[in-house]
Amino acid sequence: MTEPVDPVSRAFLGVENSTSGQRWVSRLDQAAQNRALAMTQVHGLPELISRVLAGRGVAVDDAPAFLDPTIRSLMPDPHTLIDCDKAAARLAEAIGKRQRVAIFGDYDVDGAASSALMSRFLTHFEVQSEIYIPDRIFEGYGPNPNAIRQLIAGGAQLIVTVDCGSTSHEALQAAAVENCDVVVIDHHQMGHELPPSVALVNPNRQDDLSGQGHLCAAGVVFMVLVATARLLREQGDPRARTLDLLGWLDLVALATVCDVVPLKGLNRAYVVKGLMTARHMGNAGLAALFRKAGLGGPVTPYHLGFLVGPRINAGGRIGDAALGSRLLTLDDPTEADVIAERLDELNRERQAMEAAMLAEAEAEVIAEYGDGENASVIITARDNWHPGIVGLLAARLKEKFKRPAFAIAFDSSGRGTGSGRSIPGFDLGRMVRAGVEEGLLVKGGGHAMAAGLTVERANLGRLRASFEALAETVVPGLVGNHVLKIDGALSASGATIALIDLLEQAGPYGSGHSQPIFAVPSHRIVDSRLIGTAHVKATLQSMDGTRLEAIAFRAADTPLGQMLLSSRGSQVHVAGCLSADHWQGSRRVQLRILDAARAL
C-alpha cells in the first residue's frame, strides 16, 4: 500500500517557478484537508469556508465561534492583566475626586486612538483631561522629562501614558520627583526593570501571564476601561450605567488594523464588532476622514488600514502630531471636516516626499547590497531624509527585497532616527533591544514586526555588522523558500459576489489571518493595460466565455506586470485575492493579482 502524497509536496497546477519566481503550493496539508472535510460534515459549512478556516489552523470544534467572534466570549477578565486592578482604581479615584488628567500618547494611529478612547471615557465622567502627543522630530517616541514637568506645571494630577511609557524610566522618575502619579498602558516589548508608576499595564511585560500580548495599545486601553467602568458601577456612580463602551470599538478596530497586530483571539472580535460600529459613522472624526477618502461601500479593514490610517499618521509624520487624536475626540462634524482636510493635505505632501526618498533608498540598497540576495538585513541611511517617513521607507524596502529593513535619517549633529520593519518569523524588536544592550544604540525598542531606534553616525558601521550577524542565522531560512500558498482553484464563473460574502464570514483578514489566495487556471488574457503609471489591469476569460476583471497593483515595472502586458491572447494561470469593487452603488467582483504563470 502506497502512502498518500501530501498536497503541499506537489506544485499547485504544476507551477514550480512562476513569473515572480515562486513555487505554488496548496496551503492545506493532508491534516488540514481532513479538518476542512470534518468542518463541512459536522457544522454544515460550505466547503470553501472550511478550507479557508482549516488552512489557518482553526480547529473543527472552534469553527462556529470563529465565524461569530464576540467581545463577551473572547475577552478575559481584565484583571488577568497584571496591574489592571491598580490602574482601574487610580482612574476611578481621579474620577471621584475630579482630578485633572493628562494623557500622554504616541504619534501613530494606535497612539491617537488610545488617547481618544481615554479622553472620551474621562469626558463621559466629567473629568478634565488634555492629550499630549510628542513631536516626532524634536521629542521622539515616548514621555520625556521636560514634557512631563510641563504637564504637571499645567495642573495635571494624574498622567496616563498610552502606547508608550514602558521603558521611559527617566521621564517617569521626573513625575515621581514631582509627586505626580503615572499610570502606564502599553503593549510594547520591555525588559525586567519597571519605571516608577502606580500601575504598568502591558501584556508584554515579563511577569504578565494574561496571554494577551497580541493586543495593540488601544485594545489594552479598552480592557482597562472595562475594569474601571465595572469598579465605578460597584461604587454606585450613576454615570457608569449610561456608558456605552461598545460604541467606541470603531477606535479599537482602527488601531488594531493599523498597528498590524495578529488578527486572532480578542483582536478578531475587536475588528469585527468595531467595523459594525464604524459603519454607523458615529465618530465625527472618522466619518470626516471616510468622506475625504471617498469611501464607497461599507467600511472594511482595507479602508481603515489604507485610507484612514495613512491620513492620521500624516499628522505625526510631517505635521502637527496631535491632529489625529484631536480629530478622533470630536463630535462636531464641521470642526472634524477642517482637521480631516488638513490631514488629507499632509498625506499628499507625505506621498510626494516618500516617493523621492524611496528612489534614493532603493538606489542605496542596490549600491550597498546589489539585488539584496546576499544581505540578511538591510540598513539604509541619509542626511536629508525626513525622520517622519523612515518607517514607510523601511516597509517599502522590506516588501521589495523580502528582508528585514531599516531606514535611518541623520540630523546635522550626526544622530540618526530610524525605523525598521520585519518579515514573518524574525523578531525585530529583540534585535533592536540587543543593540541597545551592546551600546550600539542610544535607544530603541518595538515589537516583532516593527521597531524604532536612535543611533550615532559613528556607530552605524558596527550596527550594520551586529545586526547582520544576528540576522544571518535566521533570515536566509525564512526567505530562501519562495512559495505562494494557494487556498484553492476557481474559474471566472465561480468568482461571484455570493462567494465573496461567504469569504467575509471567515474574515477579517490581515496579520496572522491572511487573506485567501485562489488560483485561476488556464484563463485567456483578452485585454491588459496600464492604469495610471504603476498598476496593470487585465481581463481574464474562461473556457465558457465568462470574464473576470483583475488588477495587479504597483506591478508595471515588475516581471509580473510585464508578463501581463505582453500576454494578450495567451493562456495563463493567475493567483490572487477576490474582493468586491464598489462602483456607482453596485458591487463587482475583482481579482487582485499577486502572481501568474504560463499555462502549458
| pLDDT above 50 (res 156) | yes
Using CA atoms, how far apart are residues 471 and 214, in angstroms rounded to an integer?
A: 23
What is the tens place of the pLDDT at every residue in 298-328? 899 989 999 999 999 999 888 888 999 999 9
Using CA atoms, how far apart are residues 585 and 278, in angstroms rounded to an integer?
A: 19
Q: What average pLDDT does this structure show over 87-115?
A: 97
Axis crossing angle, helix 460-471 with helix 428-437, rounded to the nearest 10: 130
Confidence of residue 581 (pLDDT cuts 50, 70, 90): confident
| CATH of the domain spanning 76-245 | 3.90.1640.30
Q: Which residues of 125-135 are buried (b: 16+ CB within 10 A; e: fewer)?
A: bebebebbbbe
Can you give 121-167 as a three-state secondary structure string?
HHHHCCCCEEEECCCCCCCCCCCCHHHHHHHHHCCCCEEEEECCCCC
| pLDDT above 70 (res 9) | no
| CATH of the domain spanning 370-479 | 3.10.310.30
Sheet holding 129-132, edge to edge: 129-132, 101-105, 158-162, 181-185, 199-201
What is the tens place of the pLDDT at every residue in 163-196? 999 999 999 999 999 999 999 999 998 889 999 9
Which residues are paired to 452 by β-bridges? 419, 445
The single-letter code of the amino acid at 291 is R
Confidence of residue 16 (pLDDT cuts 50, 70, 90): very high
The half-sphere exposure of 97 on its side-chain side, counting CA atoms within 13 A, is 11
Using CA atoms, how far apart are residues 577 and 403, in angstroms rounded to an integer?
A: 23
Distances (CA, A) of 59 to 31, 54, 215, 270, 282: 11, 7, 22, 21, 36
Containing 478, the helix (H) or strand (E) segment is helix 475-479
Please enumerate, as own/partner, the contacts of 284-287 that have beta carbons within 8 Å and a separation of 24 or more.
284/330, 284/331, 284/332, 284/333, 284/335, 284/336, 285/116, 285/327, 285/328, 285/329, 285/330, 285/336, 285/339, 285/340, 286/250, 286/251, 286/254, 286/328, 287/333, 287/336
| pLDDT above 50 (res 3) | no
What is the tens place of the pLDDT at every residue in 117-139? 999 999 999 999 999 999 887 88
Which pLDDT value is given to residue 5?
Answer: 46
Say if residues 549 and 588 touch (Cβ distance below 8 Å). Answer: yes
Higher pLDDT, 83 or 7: 83
- Tell me if 76-245 shares its fold with 370-479: no
Say if residues 135 and 194 touch (Cβ distance below 8 Å). Answer: no
Which pLDDT value is given to residue 424?
Answer: 84
What is the tens place of the pLDDT at every residue in 17-49? 999 989 999 999 999 999 999 999 999 998 889
Using CA atoms, how far apart are residues 399 and 64, in angstroms rounded to an integer?
A: 35
Distances (CA, A) of 406 to 106, 399, 481, 519, 522: 20, 12, 22, 33, 40
Phi and psi based region of residue 524 (left: phi greater than 0; alpha: psi -120 to 50; beta: remaining): beta
The half-sphere exposure of 135 on its side-chain side, counting CA atoms within 13 A, is 7
Confidence of residue 2 (pLDDT cuts 50, 70, 90): very low
Q: What average pLDDT does this structure show over 456-473?
A: 94
| pLDDT above 60 (res 278) | yes
What is the tens place of the pLDDT at every residue in 342-398? 999 999 999 999 999 999 999 999 988 877 778 899 999 999 899 989 999 999 999
Cell of 536: 496593470
* Answer CATH for 7-21+487-598 from 3.40.640.10, 3.30.390.10, 2.70.70.10, 2.40.50.460: 2.40.50.460
Angle at 362 (CA atoms; ends 574, 348), nearest 5 degrees: 85
Residue with cell 535619517: 409
Containing 418, the helix (H) or strand (E) segment is strand 415-421
Using CA atoms, how far apart are residues 262 and 276, in angstroms rounded to an integer?
A: 20
Q: Are strands 518-531 and 571-583 parallel, antiparallel or unpaired?
A: antiparallel
Residue with cell 505632501: 349
Which pLDDT value is given to residue 253?
Answer: 98
583, with CB counted inside 10 A (0-12, 13-18, 19+), is exposed
Q: What average pLDDT does this structure show over 397-403?
A: 91
Say if residues 204 and 187 touch (Cβ distance below 8 Å). Answer: yes
Using CA atoms, how far apart are residues 124 and 286, in angstroms rounded to an integer?
A: 19
Q: Name the average pLDDT for the chain.
A: 93
Q: What average pLDDT does this structure show over 247-272?
A: 95
Cell of 295: 469611501
